[in-house]
Chains A and B, each alone.
Chain A
Amino acid sequence: MRTKLLGVAALVVTLAAAGCAAPEAAPQAAPASDAAQATPQGPVKLTYWTWAPNMDKIVAVWNQEHPDIQVTVSKQAGGDDAAAKFLTAAKAGNPPDLVQAEYQHLPSFIAADAVADLKAAAGAAQPEFSEGVWGQVTLGTAAVYAIPQDSGPMMLFYRKDLFEKYGIAVPKTWQEYAEAARKVRKQDPDVFLGTFSSKDPGAFTGLAQQAGARWWAIEGEAWRVNVADEPTTRVADFWGGLVKEGVIDGMPYFTPEWNKALNDGKLLTWPSAIWAPGALSSNAPKAKGKWAAAPLPQWRAGENHSGFWGGSSVAVAASSKHQAAAARFAVWLNTDPKAVELLVKEAAIYPASAKGQQALTEAPDYFSTQPDFWQQAATVAAGARGFTFGPNVGVTYNAFKDSFDKAVQARSSFSDAVRAMQETTVADMRKSGFQIAP
């Protein structure tokens, strides 16, 4: 059966190559792939793995306008599992044509040769995105490995009503945040200002980025790996000190216990990303209208820095037979004004495209009491800085969970945990043979 299908596919490709003029320059990896769509053999069929809610509704709009390229959405579970699943499928030879790829996982996909270079078909989309976001999908190389979809600049979310109750001002610096944490504990020993989650490497990465960390960088033909750099160690020791002092809790995010603490007003802040309104409305529905957003506390007063937690792009599988068609869809989805509007409305994402960000006006329902939510967000986003992710983020993130689990449990040194991340990351890269800058 499989042989037969392959035969048919080969025939289609041959016919197409013979029968029509050369299409727009297709990437070398897939000669004649684009041509198939112009034949009377029926529409090109693409599969798309994503976990964005309501994506099927958005894709339906595309399918109606493009009878020659039909996209089918396959809903995935998000997070690190999704990346592992795609890598496994690519290795097994049957990945989807399009896949939602978080920025931190994209380099692993590239290193596994699982995603295609879309420069020819999608390079023109570059002006739609800010330089920082575009760097996440090129890794600073000449290739374009994905089209940015959403972005997750970090902000401080806090319980406005309880801040008033405990007489706390919104902290402008991390020092003020630490003071507030102590103050809250003194007034009510059942309440914490915040918690440090050893299960969410993404959140820690964003906080390190805010402080100016650069965990990976490409230097010529070698990787520079610097997970335990000064900014990261500073962030780790800051939180480690507060956990050790007992003024910040060590409960992980996204557990039933955490939900309960949010609902009951036992946790007053959550340094999170711009997608937090969605998470809060499903995890803490009782506290609707009581939360507000502010810029992250700064390391030096008067600065305006932030980092990224999450955010993703749309990549095309290297083994897809219809790379050019898939790239066309990915560009449409993330830059076409109508599509971006749908992404915001239906999928509740913060779009990566600059025009999309400007079009946001009405505050999320959960934050209806804060009408300037998106203006705040735009200011924060402008000051957010990321870094190039390395080819083995899975290893680094797993090392984060293991070493910070222990550090939170034992209330031991967080900077030691950061050093363990660095050692594990470098050891894994050396084992695979990556060139590492001395």
Chain B
Amino acid sequence: MNRRVKAAPYLFLTPAIVLFTLFLAVPIGYTVYLSMRRVKVSGLGLGKGARQEIFVGLDNLAAAVTDGELWAGWLRVLGYGALVLVVMLGLALLFALLLDSAHVRLARFSRIAIFLPYAVPGVAATLLWGFLYLPSLSPFGLGFLSASAVTFSMANIAVWGGVGFNMLVLYTTLRAIPRELYEAARIDGATETQIALRVKIPILVPAIILTTVFSVIATIQVFTEPTTLRPLTNAISSTWSPLMKVYRDAFVTGDLYSAAATSIVIAAVSLVLSFGFLRVVRGHAFGEES
């Protein structure tokens, strides 16, 4: 009996452990293994035995870390990400507060209208915007896909698709706030704007942090928009974002080993950025006193 009780927790954990091992631990392990290998060709590289896999240790990783193109990619993504984060979350917050305010009309319709773009798949959204951006097809004129504008054009797609989701997260949190708080504020003479700034936003902070972390991770992984737009313009290179470089290495130039090494660098940067951000704002996020 005692023995059974001891075994029970492990039994319940088994599905999670098996899934974690199969679909997370093993692929990660394999990526690390691949990142330490390379193909070595001899002579012309044709025919049997001209090609073998060798162990190169941390060579690939060192090459990935010191690759200027990868860091240039990070810089591009940083600029793009800053734009997306500020505009998308700013708009999401604004819309959430407007929808929650006492004087709003057509609330249900507006909510759905703002949320709807989130339901459009990324590739479809990008193609749709891409056609609008093309100079000769666009009803708005020229230059959306030029080198100087392409970052803004891409950020616009991400904002269009992402505002609705983030707004919904914030809006739901707002609806959960007890109405009595607003009543108390009104009795104290606060205007709607003051209530929004002094009552609602402070309560929203944990939700804002949550949406920020999600958005940071999504931005680091930006791939669909630039990849889909690339055939339409010559302003996006095959290594525009770090993930695009992984794709190029693995499937265009056939170097899985470098791709694996770069993936590890990207994972490390994502971890540092998202956990670093959480650490900085920990006190606010979880209501802990630091």
Contact = CB atoms under 8 A, between A and B. Distances in A.
A255 B44 contact: no
Candidate in B147, B231, B234 with the most chain A CB atoms within 10 angstroms: B234
B186 interface: no
Given A394-B252, A394-B254, A435 B134 contact: no
A64 interface: no
B43 A139 contact: no
Nearest to B253: A395
B251 interface: yes
Contacts, number: 107
A80 B237 CA distance: 16
B251 A405 contact: no
B136 interface: yes
Contact of B234 (A141, A250, A391): A250
A408 B51 CA distance: 38
Interface string B7-47: 00000000000000000000000000000000111111111
B274 interface: no
Interface residues of A, number: 49
Given A110-B46, A392-B253, A432-B45, A198 B234 contact: yes
Interface stretch (A178-186, A217-225, A277-285): A217-225
Interface in A68-117: 80-81, 84, 87-88, 91, 107-108, 110-113
Given A112-B51, A435-B44, A408 B234 contact: yes
Nearest to A139: B46
Nearest to A410: B147
A254 B40 CA distance: 37
Interface string A380-410: 0000000000011011001001101110111
A302 to B, nearest CB: 36
B241 to A, nearest CB: 14
Nearest to B135: A257
Nearest to A405: B234
Contacts of A257: 134-137, 232
Interface of B: 39-48, 50-51, 131, 134-137, 146-147, 231-239, 248, 251-254, 256
Interface of A: 29, 80-81, 84, 87-88, 91, 107-108, 110-113, 139, 141, 143, 198-199, 218, 221-223, 250, 252, 254-257, 260-261, 266, 391-392, 394-395, 398, 401-402, 404-406, 408-410, 428, 432-435
Given A88-B251, A410-B147, A435-B42, 13 more contacts: A80-B252, A111-B41, A139-B46, A221-B43, A222-B44, A257-B136, A261-B136, A392-B253, A392-B254, A394-B252, A395-B253, A405-B236, A408-B234
